[in-house]
Homo-oligomer: A and B are copies of this chain.
Amino acid sequence: MSTPAQERAPKRVSLSRERVLRCAVELADESGLAALTIRSLAQSMGTKAMSLYHYVANKEEILDGIVDLVFSEIGLPSAEGDWLGEMRRRAHDVRSALQRHPWAVGLLESRTSPGPATLHHHEATLATLRAAGFSVQMTAHAYALLDSYIYGFALQEAALPFKGRDTAAEVTAPIVQLFSTGQYPHMVEIATEHVLKPGYDFGDEFDFGLDLILDGLGRLLETP
C-alpha cells in the first residue's frame, strides 16, 4: 500500500461513459446518493472532476444513466412462458434490484426520460401480458397496478430505518417502550405481536401483496 489506507485506492482506469456510470452506481451503493458528487466520483476513478464531462453532458445525464443501468440488471420476462410465473419472477427481480440500489427508487420520481434498458424492459413486460390474453386496456391496468405495488413496496423498504431479518427489534423496541400505554395502541400492538417477533422481515410482506394482485388479475383473465 502506497497511500496510508485513508480511502479505497482510486485505481486509475481508462475512462468511458460506461465506466463513469458503473462507478457512479458503485459509489451510490456504498455511500448513498448524496455522496455521489462529480468531484467524489472523479476521485473514486482516479481523475479530476472536469474530466468526466467529456463522457457525460451533466449530472442529470449521470442520474438518468444509472437508473437505466439498474433496469439493465433486471431479466426480461418471456412472452412464451406462463404469464403468472413470468410476472412473479419479474416482480421479484425488480424488487431485488431496487433493494440492491435503494437510491434508485427516489430517482424514479424525477426521471422522465427512460433509457433503452428501461424501454426494453417495459416492452417485454407488455408483450408477456398481451400474450397471456389480456386486452390492451387490461394490460395497461395490470401493468400500472403491478409496478405501482412493486415501486411502492421498494419505496417503503428504502425508508425503513432497518433492513433484513431480525434487525427491526433494535430500532423498534425503544420506540414501543416510548409509546406503550400511550396514544398509539394499535401501532404498539403491531410492533409487539408482529414486528418484534423473532424472524420478522418486512421483505416477507412482499409476497402477500404480490400473490393477492396476481390472483386478482388471473381471475379477471378467466372470467371476461
Comparing A38-46, A68-76, A101-109, the segment that makes contact with chain B is A101-109
Shortest CB–CB separation between residue A140 and chain B, in angstroms?
A: 5
Out of B111, B126, B140, B159, name the residue touching A109 (CB < 8 Å).
B159
A183 at the B interface (CB under 8 A)? yes
Q: Which residue of B lies closest to A114 (CB)?
A: B159
The count of residues in chain A whose C-beta lies closer than 8 Å to any C-beta of chain B is 54
Interface centre among A119, A148, A205, A212 (most CB of B within 10 A): A148
Interface centre among A102, A108, A130, A147 (most CB of B within 10 A): A108
Whether B205 and A216, one on each chain, are in contact in the complex, defined by CB atoms closer than 8 angstroms, is: no
Shortest CB–CB separation between residue A135 and chain B, in angstroms?
A: 9
Q: Which residue of B lies closest to A127 (CB)?
A: B186
Interface centre among A159, A193, A209 (most CB of B within 10 A): A209
A82 at the B interface (CB under 8 A)? no
Whether B216 and A123, one on each chain, are in contact in the complex, defined by CB atoms closer than 8 angstroms, is: no
With a CB–CB cut-off of 8 A, which chain B residues contact A119?
184, 187
With a CB–CB cut-off of 8 A, which chain B residues contact A126?
186-187, 189-190
A81 at the B interface (CB under 8 A)? no
Q: What 8 A-B pairs come out closest when comparing CB atoms?
A: A152-B152, A148-B152, A145-B209, A126-B186, A151-B152, A148-B153, A106-B109, A212-B216
Shortest CB–CB separation between residue A110 and chain B, in angstroms?
A: 7
In the complex this chain forms, how many copies of it are found? 2
A122-161 vs B, CB cutoff 8 Å, 1 = contact: the mask equals: 1100110010000011011100110111111101101111
A202 at the B interface (CB under 8 A)? yes
Question: How distant is the Cα of A158 from the Cα of B109 in the complex, in angstroms?
Answer: 6
Q: Which residue of B lies closest to A212 (CB)?
A: B216
Out of B109, B148, B209, B216, name the residue touching A141 (CB < 8 Å).
B209
Whether B189 and A136, one on each chain, are in contact in the complex, defined by CB atoms closer than 8 angstroms, is: yes
Interface residues of A in 62-121 (CB under 8 A from B): 102, 105-106, 108-112, 119
A-B contact pairs, 18 of them (CB 8 A): A102-B109, A106-B106, A112-B160, A122-B184, A126-B189, A136-B193, A140-B205, A144-B202, A145-B149, A145-B208, A145-B209, A145-B212, A148-B152, A149-B152, A150-B152, A152-B152, A152-B155, A213-B213
